[in-house]
Structure 1
């Protein structure tokens, strides 16, 4: 489904805004970019693979709506290039969505090594901080559209999982980073996060592939999430409708954590 065919519950909500969405060639990131464009915004999206990024830009309606910049999310030169692309192409920068994340290991933490732990923390936490730092220093937001950041955390950051420990630790730290920067950057920039449970994307296939019905049965809503579930919440948190909300993490989980499960 192309952007022009999408229903836009908040049509016009983001007219005049420019957002950077990292890790947005597919999955949740692309879903967020779709929602922002459908609601009137412009987006600069990032990913590692140029071909996939070019396809995503075309899906979003081409250069009138979106620009893609390929690179490594943890590379500071790439971050600088993306921020400059937003300002030079669309004339400003109002929102940042930190969606890039990695989870290269699955299983008990003691079976992983310190090098893996450093990589996970570098991409999922330190790079997210660096993106915020660069965006704010470049002038995030303006009088008409105040600056806003949304970090993609996870329910794995709310409790122990037994299988994706380093990922969860990185997301728990990201949740606390959200609180710290929400406190420090007000009133000019709001910083919030979302914490999804299992969303049906390529990134999360190891958590449900071949047993989706079994996994979904643990959710009060009796289904897994889809990117649109997250995109709507992110759009709200970026918008003026959330103008008095900062430093918060919104759990988007189909109710699964109500029973203590992750």
Structure 2
């Protein structure tokens, strides 16, 4: 079976299926592009129905479906997995990318209700999707989970402490799931530095050249950088890798951890 994706040559169907959260744009969309390009069928989620519809059209409606909803909503988590199973009959890969960072400033002044929201969206939702995917397919059939963490979760990052705390929890969630779901399911994380997306633009907007100069590789990341990493971690080439956090940072940690 072959399928045509938007702007791409025909690729053979891999027979694999991925569910990617928060994938109407940015990093999630870049991951969807990478998996569709190698022949996977994909379900993407996000909050905006129109943005999801446009993403499906760009990625290829013959291979991609979308389910709209809030990542922290348990009913949405169950519906997304159920819809994926109905459409494709399996869900080999889960990519937990949905996240939020609604606050910028020192955690000493952080509104605790905001902290709870960040943690619920960035961490608890990932656990919920993992539980649903495990029950629906992976428990009996195996697969792989990739959690999108952040360099902010492995090193202190001024002014985005709430986000960093949640991503540190995501790293630990990765370790715990990797231990509990082995040997049938591999679980790894990716920790990006600044990626050029709407989500992160406050970190570089109006000063991109200055921000990029701090990176030994001379540029900020782009979604396809993370898409390639996620494709690797859900491929047979990574079959003996689990419980790891792959830092994708353009070398920023080489500069005394300043990012």
Same fold (TM over 0.5): yes
| Pair 1:133–1:121, CA change in 2 (3 A) | same
Q: Does 1:60 align with 2:56?
A: no
After superposition, what is the alpha-carbon deviation per residue over 1:187-210, rounded to whole angstroms, capped at 9, x for unaligned?
110000000000000000000000
Q: Does 1:116 align with 2:114?
A: yes
Instruction: Name 1:5's counterpart in structure 2.
Output: 7
Corresponding residue SS for 1:215 = helix
After superposition, what is the alpha-carbon deviation per residue over 1:211-231, rounded to whole angstroms, capped at 9, x for unaligned?
000010000001000000000
- Alignment RMSD (CA, Å): 1.6
Where structure 2 has 5 or more consecutive residues not aligned to the other structure, the ranges are none
Instruction: Name 1:97's counterpart in structure 2.
Output: 95
| Pair 1:258–1:6, CA change in 2 (3 A) | farther
Return the alpha-carbon distance in structure 2 between the equivalents of residues 133 and 251 of structure 1: 25
Where structure 1 has 5 or more consecutive residues not aligned to the other structure, the ranges are none
Q: 228, 248, 262: which is aligned to 2:224?
A: 228
Return the alpha-carbon distance in structure 2 between the equivalents of residues 45 and 118 of structure 1: 25
Shift of 1:111: 2.3
> 2:18·2:93 contact (CA, 8 Å) conserved in 1?
yes
Q: Does 1:261 align with 2:249?
A: no
Mapping of 1:174-253 within 5 angstroms?
A: 174-253=170-249
| Pair 1:188–1:5, CA change in 2 (3 A) | same
Shift of 1:171: 0.3
> 2:194·2:249 contact (CA, 8 Å) conserved in 1?
yes
TM-score for the superposition, normalised by structure 1: 0.94
Corresponding residue SS for 1:68 = strand
Q: How many residues were matched structurally?
A: 255
Return the alpha-carbon distance in structure 1 between the equivalents of residues 57 and 66 of structure 2: 10
